[in-house]
């Protein structure tokens, strides 16, 4: 039994490793495909997971040995943000290019893969933009307040470490045109893809102040070592745009995880 478990664990680790290599080496069409989501695809081969019932978040850690961090991790995401410490942090330098995005319905969210060539630099380290995807309602809460949706812009450095920019979405006013390509391109069928022209920078709030802490992927395998950069200013979209997101996925948010003494900072000097 022990041997079988070990073989299964090795197979899972190998699958994740192989998928990472594929993620790095593929992209003949120029689109970045995220290691986290490729890991998710591999994770799906290992064990089915979901947001409710016996394969929901409370059970992720026991669905497969490779998901154990979901249960045993000590620096997990999302968290409830309360009184982050104002700190003079280096600004994020954005080098985003407008361009085509390939939007895919992966069965857990709808993900927009970026073309190569967009990046951020933070603390002297450059991370390339891979993809954005959404959760509804938000995963992070602020003083216990949940938002209708949250979008994660996933970036990866050359050494494989991830930095994720979180953008909270709220409802107000007319359609937000910067978000129309994403909303209009949402493929409703699992596995389907569309292509749309994205202005990635315009999708962010104009105020780039962020709340920063060290966390994890919010989906299996819940890997830690992720630098989280949550925009402190939400972005407004129309109620019709929100409805389109919600009709695609609603309830794909992981519940709040314990802070466990981690430091949470807010940039006091954003320019
Ligand atoms: Zn996410």
**Which string of DSSP letters, residue by residue, matches 176-202?**
-GGGHHHHHT---STT-EEEEEE-TGG
**Using 50, 70 and 90 to split pLDDT, how confident is the model at 11?**
very low
CB atoms inside a 10 Å sphere around CB 123 = 10
Residue 133 has pLDDT above 50, yes or no: yes
For position 15, what pLDDT does the model report? 41
For position 32, what pLDDT does the model report? 73
Among candidate residues 108, 133, 135, 140, the one labeled active-site is 108
Ligand 1 center–CA 139 separation, angstroms:
8
Please state which of the ranges 40-44, 57-61, 103-107, 243-247 shows the lowest mean pLDDT: 40-44
For the chain, what is the mean pLDDT?
A: 89
Is residue 152 part of the annotated active site? The answer reads: no
**Using 50, 70 and 90 to split pLDDT, how confident is the model at 245?**
very high
Ligand 1 center–CA 163 separation, angstroms:
12
Is the CATH code 3.10.200.10 the one for domain 73-267? yes
Please state which of the ranges 4-13, 49-58, 78-87, 131-140 shows the lowest mean pLDDT: 4-13
Q: What's the pLDDT tens digit per position in 50-83?
A: 999 999 999 999 999 999 999 999 999 999 999 9
C-alpha–C-alpha distance, residues 240 and 148, integer Å: 12
pTM of structure: 0.87
What is the length of the chain? Answer: 271
C-alpha–C-alpha distance, residues 151 and 187, integer Å: 17
Ligand 1 center–CA 148 separation, angstroms:
14
Cα–Cα separations (whole angstroms), residue 105 to 5, 191, 245:
32, 5, 12
Q: What's the pLDDT tens digit per position in 163-177?
A: 999 999 999 999 999
Ligand 1 center–CA 165 separation, angstroms:
10
**Using 50, 70 and 90 to split pLDDT, how confident is the model at 17?**
very low
């Amino acid at each position: 039994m022990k041997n079988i478990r070990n073989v299964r664990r090795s197979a899972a680790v190998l699958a994740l490793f192989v998928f990472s290599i594929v993620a790095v080496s593929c992209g003949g069409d120029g689109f970045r495909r995220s290691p986290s989501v490729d890991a998710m695809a591999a994770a799906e081969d290992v064990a089915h997971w979901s947001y409710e019932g016996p394969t929901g978040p409370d059970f992720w850690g026991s669905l497969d040995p490779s998901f154990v961090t979901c249960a045993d991790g000590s620096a997990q995401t999302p968290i409830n943000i309360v009184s982050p410490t104002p700190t003079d942090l280096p600004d994020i330098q954005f080098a985003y290019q407008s361009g085509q995005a390939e939007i895919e319905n992966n069965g857990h969210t709808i993900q927009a893969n970026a073309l190569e060539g967009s990046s951020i630099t933070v603390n002297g380290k450059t991370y390339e933009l891979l993809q954005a995807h959404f959760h509804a309602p938000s995963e992070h809460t602020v003083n216990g307040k949940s938002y209708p949706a949250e979008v994660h812009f996933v970036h990866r450095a050359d050494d494989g470490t991830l930095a994720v920019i979180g953008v909270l979405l709220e409802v107000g006013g007319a359609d937000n045109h910067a978000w129309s390509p994403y909303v209009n391109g949402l493929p409703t069928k699992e596995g389907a893809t569309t292509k749309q022209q994205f202005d990635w920078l315009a999708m962010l709030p104009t105020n780039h102040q962020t709340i920063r802490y060290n966390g994890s992927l919010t989906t299996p395998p819940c890997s830690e070592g992720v630098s989280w950069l949550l925009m402190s200013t939400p972005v407004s979209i129309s109620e019709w745009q929100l409805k389109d997101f919600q009709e695609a996925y609603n309830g794909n948010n992981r519940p709040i995880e314990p802070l466990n003494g981690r430091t949470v900072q807010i940039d006091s000097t954003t320019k």
